[in-house]
Amino acid sequence: MMGILVIECPTTGRAVSTGIEMLSIERLPTVTAQTKCPVCGRVHEWTRDSARLVEDGEQYRTAAGA
């Protein structure tokens, strides 16, 4: 089952979808990425080490598509 990659919004502390679905976080390259946060509206930089994979992330799929 595909999981949703999420990061923590540094402004609100809430989990935010990156819009990336994958099977394993280990497949991500070690680069810095950016995601526009739907919660606070800012652009957050993140890396593989600051993200987590949520396997049952239906609520994040809905938020990413909004």
Q: Which helix (H) or strand (E) holds 18?
A: strand 15-22
66 residues of the chain, pLDDT tens digit each: 788 999 999 999 999 999 888 888 887 888 999 999 999 999 999 999 999 999 875 666 555 544
Topology annotation, domain 3-65: SH3 type barrels. (2.30.30)
Supply the pLDDT for residue 29.
86
Place of tokens 């280990």: 26
Specify the amino acid at residue 37.
C
pLDDT in tens, 33-49: 999 999 999 999 999 99
d(CA 46, CA 7): 7
Enumerate the H helices of the chain as residue ranges: 58-65
Mean pLDDT, the chain, rounded, equals: 85
